[in-house]
Amino acid sequence: MSNPTAPSPAYKPNDPPQLHSTSMEALREYFMRLDFYNRRIARVPITSDYDKIEGAGMGLQVLALKTWFTQGLSRHLAKPYGQFKSELIRRAVPADFVWTQLEALHRLRQAPGHAINAFQDFSDQMRVLQMEIGFQVVSDQEIAKLVLLGTDPELCRILRTHVVSALAGWSDLSLERLALNVPDPSTTNHENAGVSSDAPTEQPLEFDYQVFERIGREEWSVIAQRRQAIALQVNALQQRPTHAPDPLEDLVIELKRLLCGRVAGNFSVLMIGRGGIGDVEGEPLERKIRLTTGHRH
C-alpha cells in the first residue's frame, strides 16, 4: 500500500475523507464521513475490516498518526475495524482529554464588557467544548447550567428566574423538594405504578438548549444596549471641563490686559496672581486692587 499523501487542490467532497486534526470533533466527523463513503459513495461498497482499515489509514494526514499507521501496517490490517478505531482515537487524543475539556468548561467565562455578541460567543465556545467531549458526558441541561455559572451576573439572575429554568428542572419547586427531602414526582409515580389514581400525572418538559440560548441572547441584548448608553453618557460627562470658570480670574486677566496698555510708570500693581490680588508675599487683599500713581516732576 502506498503511503498517505497530502490532499491535492483537486480534492472533492466525494473523494475518500481525510483527517487533518486530532480533535475529538474532527475524529468523530472523520469516521462518520468514512462510514458514509464506504456504504454510499465508493463504486463498490466497502464491507471488510481489512478494506475499511486500509481506507481509514489512507486518509490520515496528521504526521504522527500517519507514521503510527505505516510503521505498524501489517498489525493494523489484521485487527477488527472497531478495535482499530479505538486504538486510533487513543493514539490521537490524550488520555486525560475528557478531564481537560471538563476543566475548560468549568473555567470558561463570558468576556467582560458590553459587546452585543458577548453572550452568543460565550455560548458557542461552550457548545464546541461540549461537542468535543460528547453529549453522553455533558448533556444540554448540564451545559446550560455551566453557561449560567459563567455568564454575566445580571444575565444569570434573569435566566435563573425565567421559565426556561423550569424546563430544565431548576424551578423553585425543585429547590423546595430538595430542602424538604420530598421524593421526585417521577420517582413516586414509578413506584406507585400499580396504584390507580384519577389525579393527572406531572409530565416533565423537555429541555431545549436552542430556546435557552435564544432567551439568553435577547436578554443580553437589552443589558448590553443599556450599558452602552450609560457608558456614552459617562464619557460625555468626562469630556466636560472639570470646573466652572472663575469670575475673579477673568477679572484679573482683563485688568492685566488694561494695565499693560497704559503708559509705563503711570500705574503699578503690587501683585496679581491666580489666587487673587495680593501683596508681595501673595496674601489676598480682600479683593481690592492697590494701585500707586506715579507723578511727573
| Tens of pLDDT, residues 33-54 | 999 999 999 989 999 999 999 9
In angstroms, rounded to a whole number, what is the distance separating the alpha carbons of residues 241 and 33?
A: 66
Query: How many domains does the structure of the chain reveal?
Result: 3
Does residue 14 lie within any of the structural domains? Answer: no
**Beta bridge pairs of residue 19:** 60
Q: Are residues 166 and 112 in the same domain?
A: yes
Q: Are residues 211 and 151 in the same domain?
A: yes
| Tens of pLDDT, residues 229-261 | 999 999 888 887 766 666 677 777 776 666 665
In angstroms, rounded to a whole number, what is the distance separating the alpha carbons of residues 291 and 268?
A: 6
All three cell numbers of 166: 423550569
Cα Rg, the chain, nearest whole Å = 38
Q: Are residues 117 and 175 in the same domain?
A: yes
Q: What is the DSSP letter of 77?
A: H
User: Digits of tens for pLDDT over the chain (297 positions)?
Assistant: 444 444 444 556 678 999 999 888 889 899 999 999 999 999 899 999 999 999 999 999 999 999 999 999 999 999 999 999 999 998 998 888 889 999 999 999 999 999 999 999 999 999 989 988 888 889 998 999 999 999 999 999 998 887 666 655 565 555 555 566 555 555 445 555 555 545 444 544 577 899 899 999 999 999 999 999 999 999 888 887 766 666 677 777 776 666 665 544 554 444 445 555 444 444 444 444 444 444 454
**Beta bridge pairs of residue 284:** 278
pLDDT at 107: 96
pLDDT at 161: 81
What range defines the domain where residue 277 resides? 247-293
Domain stops at, among 92, 121, 151: 92
Length of the chain: 297
**Beta bridge pairs of residue 278:** 284
In angstroms, rounded to a whole number, what is the distance separating the alpha carbons of residues 205 and 6?
A: 49
In angstroms, rounded to a whole number, what is the distance separating the alpha carbons of residues 85 and 30?
A: 11
Q: Are residues 87 and 120 in the same domain?
A: no
In angstroms, rounded to a whole number, what is the distance separating the alpha carbons of residues 242 and 247?
A: 16
**pTM of the predicted model, to two decimals?**
0.57
In angstroms, rounded to a whole number, what is the distance separating the alpha carbons of residues 242 and 237?
A: 9
Q: What is the DSSP letter of 60?
A: B
Q: Are residues 128 and 215 in the same domain?
A: yes
Q: What is the DSSP letter of 18?
A: -
In angstroms, rounded to a whole number, what is the distance separating the alpha carbons of residues 99 and 102?
A: 5
Does residue 159 lie within any of the structural domains? Answer: yes
Instruction: Please report, in angstroms and rounded to a whole number, the separation of the first and last CA atoms in the chain.
Output: 123
